[in-house]
Structure 1
Amino acid sequence: MDDLVREWTAQLLDSGNIAALIAGLVALFLVLSRNTWPLLRNVVTIAHEGGHAVIALLSGRKLNGIRLHSDTSGLTLSTGKPTGPGMVFTLLAGYPAVSLLGLGGAWLVTADLARMMLWACIALLVAMLLAIRNAYGVLSIVVTGGVIFAVSWFATPAWQALCCALFSWFLLFGGLRPIAELRRKRSAGRASQSDADQLARLTGLPAGAWLAIWFLVGLATLAVGARWLLLMPQV
């Protein structure tokens, strides 16, 4: 079985390879399935809140903490000027962060750097753990990091490449579904404090426009990431 996986994952750099396509289809199923999405959405929330936290720090705001909840929602608390570019970019960063992480993962996989991707994920999770302020958040980070560590430590390079391809696809697809979910919540009047609504109040640009921007960014990263995973020639 491992020889078969090694053969498939060795083709990840080949044009139109079947291994990457299968990984993509599995990831799409995990995102669309009502059985798997409620659990795996925690991973998307981690990436989302991590995006808020990184941009808050880069914009000069003080990061007060991150909370991850069992309903897969999250909250990143920072202090600083309540208006202006720093606040705008902090609110803007969450949804694109998921897709951009997936894009970065796709690049690392096709560059034959799957192990580096795994350790980079672990390092980011450890850094994020320092900012977590609730028990469920700690559990989410530890479980996610534990799975990634197990793959990095025990899996063969072939399995590592396949798992990283699957993870990259999952983030690329998973970055789109929460935007659609937010649109439905807003239509039902249940998301007045969403990132999009806060951005609308700060900038004057309608919340729907921010949703459209995030969705277009998600589609663009999915297109580029898919091309890297499926169509890049072997190097």
Structure 2
Amino acid sequence: MTAAVATAVVAGVALVVTPAWRLARGWVTLAHELGHAVTAIATEGRVRRIRIRRDTSGLTEWSGEGAARRLPRGFVAWWGHPAPGALALLLAWALAAGHAVLAAQVLAGAVAAVTLVWVRSAWGVVVGLALVGAAAVGAALGTTAALGVGATVAVLWAAGGLRAAASAARGSRRGDGSDAAVLAEVLWLPVGFWAVTMVLVSAAATAGTAALLLDAARP
């Protein structure tokens, strides 16, 4: 178990800090857009489509009464960057609790459903199905493989989500269409304030994920 988690952590970090990030970021974008989609539904909105482009940018289109109101729009916009960390934390908790195979099965099923129902771009389908395949293979091969796949995805989502949030915080400006800019537009506080809140929450989720994975690695 310890070796599987250690190898997975190294693999996950490598995906974030090496040139492989340009490809791996697509999976972080998928989690980011899922954050927008789930919160849109929570505000009684309807998700129309998710697009993930080859440059790893993404867009979630949603409609409903909330789309015209400030607070729901802000709520949906805020949950993009923290979503990968939140999902990583949930996945790491399942691994630490000894549910690696179940976690891999749920991951494969959930991402398959999201891909089939919402994703409407060719590259997005490739990204989604690649993750489904990895999770399904991990679940089929048993606990050690499922733990390795789950830990790799958790590290990628946590560290990758933090990197993406920090990068966006440095580049966000009022009116540029970023999540922080949308928040500044609808909820008045400055772009920098919202960007910092997203980075701090992502950092906390990364720390929590690391602690849970250490627990999962104990023999």
| Same fold, judged at TM 0.5 (above) | yes
- Residue 133 of structure 1 is aligned with which of 120, 142, 167? 120
**Is 1:74 matched up with 2:58?**
yes
- Residue 147 of structure 1 is aligned with which of 134, 155, 167? 134
- Residue 171 of structure 1 is aligned with which of 143, 148, 157? 157
- Residue 73 of structure 2 is aligned with which of 71, 84, 87? 87
Name the structure 2 match of 1:62: 46
Distance 1:170 1:136, change over 3 A: closer
Q: Secondary structure at the match of 1:176?
A: helix
- Two-structure CA RMSD over aligned residues (Å): 2.1
Q: Secondary structure at the match of 1:94?
A: coil
1:184 & 1:19 partners in 2: Cα distance? 35
Deviations 1:147-167 (A, max 9, x none): 2222222x2321221221222
Deviations 1:158-202 (A, max 9, x none): 122122122212211111011122134337x9x811010011000
Matched-pair contact (CA < 8 Å) for 1:179–1:211: yes
AA matched with 2:123: Y
What TM-score does the superposition give when structure 1 sets the normalisation length? 0.84
What TM-score does the superposition give when structure 2 sets the normalisation length? 0.90
| Bigger Rg, structure 1 or 2 | 1
| 1:19-30 matched pairs, under 5 angstroms | 20-30=5-15
Matched-pair contact (CA < 8 Å) for 2:4–2:144: no
Distance 1:27 1:64, change over 3 A: same
Distance 1:72 1:123, change over 3 A: same
Matched-pair contact (CA < 8 Å) for 2:172–2:180: no
Deviations 1:97-140 (A, max 9, x none): 10001001110111111111111112221221211222222222
Distance 1:103 1:214, change over 3 A: same
Name the structure 2 match of 1:214: 198
Name the structure 2 match of 1:201: 185
Name the structure 1 match of 2:97: 111
**Is 1:98 matched up with 2:84?**
yes
Q: Percent identity?
A: 30
2:10 & 2:217 partners in 1: Cα distance? 21
Distance 1:139 1:29, change over 3 A: closer
AA matched with 2:191: A
Q: Secondary structure at the match of 1:28?
A: helix
**Is 1:44 matched up with 2:23?**
no
1:140 & 1:234 partners in 2: Cα distance? 31
Distance 1:122 1:23, change over 3 A: closer
